[in-house]
Amino acid sequence: GEVAGDLVVAAIGVVPNTGFLADSGIALSRGGAIETDDALRTSVAGVWAAGDCANVTWADGSRRPEQLWYTARDQGRVAARSMLGDEVAYRRGTWYNSAKFFDLEYTTAGWVPLCLDPADNSPVDPGPETRCWFQRVPGRPESQRIVLRGERVVGFNMLGSRWNHEVLLQWIHERRSLDWVLPRLGEAQFDEEFSPRFRVQP
């Protein structure tokens, strides 16, 4: 069948550019990522890998690259300490992502469950003790969603403006309440020229 739309965006992910390593002795995954241990060492002594090319262990136990510059930075720091002989292990920690598609920004931090089933848009029960605070900004493609378990904020999904995920993660780790977060939420918004500042809508 056909689906009408104004714009089609293909998101194919990242394919590691590691073909030049085929005869190097460095172990590669089936998808071409460089296999690493927890300290980001490869199968060849004296060689480390970090960033989009590195196959790392995710929180769910799966192994695949992380295609974010923030995680590449974090992996680079771990690899550098490993090179210096420190006992280190790379662990991503709380989930986050931040990106821009054309002129649409988004930032996600923490646990943000589905609210609608992608198959038919029927409501999905996120479980007991889970609720959301949500607002859409009138006249703009922008919204903010905050997920709570009990009184504790556990996730943020910010669409249409730029946010600092490190501040949002800090609040999650500090187990802040919605009443504490809302009056301070503007502190996590990047200060861009001509960007409307966050405010709770009436």
Q: Which of 160, 128, 122 minimizes the C-alpha distance to 141?
A: 160
Q: Which of 31, 30, 26 minimizes the C-alpha distance to 41?
A: 26
pLDDT digits (tens, 9 = 90+) for 72-129: 999 999 999 999 999 999 988 888 888 887 788 899 999 988 777 777 778 788 888 9
Sheet holding 96-101, edge to edge: 96-101, 104-110, 152-159, 143-149, 130-136
Q: Which helix (H) or strand (E) holds 149?
A: strand 143-149
pLDDT digits (tens, 9 = 90+) for 3-47: 888 888 777 777 899 999 999 999 999 999 999 999 999 999 999
Of residues 189 and 103, which shows the higher confidence score?
A: 189
Strands 54-57 and 63-64: antiparallel
Q: Which amino acid is at 159?
A: L
Global confidence as pTM: 0.73
pLDDT digits (tens, 9 = 90+) for 55-72: 999 877 889 998 888 889
pLDDT at 34: 97
